[in-house]
Amino acid sequence: MKKTSYTLYRLTLNTLDLFFPPVCGGCEKTGSHWCADCQQRVQILNGTVCEVCGLPQDKSGVCATCHADRPHFHALRAWTIFDGPVRNALHKLKYSRNFSMGDALAAQMTDFVKDLNWPIDVLIPIPLGRQRMRERGYNQAGMIAQSLAMKLDIEFAPKALMRRKETRSQVGLSKQERQKNVLGAFQAAGVSEKTVLVLDDVSTTGSTLSSSAEALFSSGAKDVYALTVARALPHHGLKHV
């Protein structure tokens, strides 16, 4: 049923492309939403990373930060680095209503997610606050999560996680400020005894995902894994989200 749903979803997007010719979200070349050149430039985060937070490190195991202050999720992984064409593509999805960009990114990252071999029952996107949802009209993380769930043939539950309070933007905040900003920000329902994959577009410290995992566990989730399209790595010469 989910595979049929994805086929119909793709048919809808392809129909829209007939009226609005696609432009690559990474480089703005015409002809596709995510061109072959930009796909080749994706820097997959598949090296040695912390077993919990997923940050690159020199040796395997759990990093010192996670030993000292372990996040609530079981593990966090990012498909790629928040830079170059991926950064451009996510901005197009987030601010320019390029809805097909979410499907294009989900399609390329599907094999990466499968290789994680996580026993996921349901995929839930990080929700926007009410004010941002009114301003934007859609949740960019939800656009990616919906396509990914259909391709993985698992349940998509966009309403299982909600924001209990409005939070300020995490941009420019320290890790401690980010943790405080999202403390108690979420509530969850309908996840009892389920293993959840919670998805956001970009992570920096993982504070938002950790706070959401705490809410999911409080609602009875069996386990919680976290996934983002990209990871901002300021300590590796890259900029903050």
Distances (CA, A) of 121 to 50, 136, 154, 198: 24, 29, 6, 11
Topology of domain 2-236 in CATH is Rossmann fold (3.40.50)
CA nearest neighbour of 173 among 235, 230, 127, 241: 241
Instruction: Say whether pLDDT at 134 is over 50.
Output: yes
Q: Which of the given ranges, 92-101, 131-140, 193-202, has the highest pLDDT on average?
A: 193-202
pTM for this prediction? 0.87
pLDDT digits (tens, 9 = 90+) for 145-172: 999 999 999 999 999 999 987 665 666 6
Distances (CA, A) of 71 to 206, 212, 213: 8, 10, 9
- Mean pLDDT estimate for the chain: 88
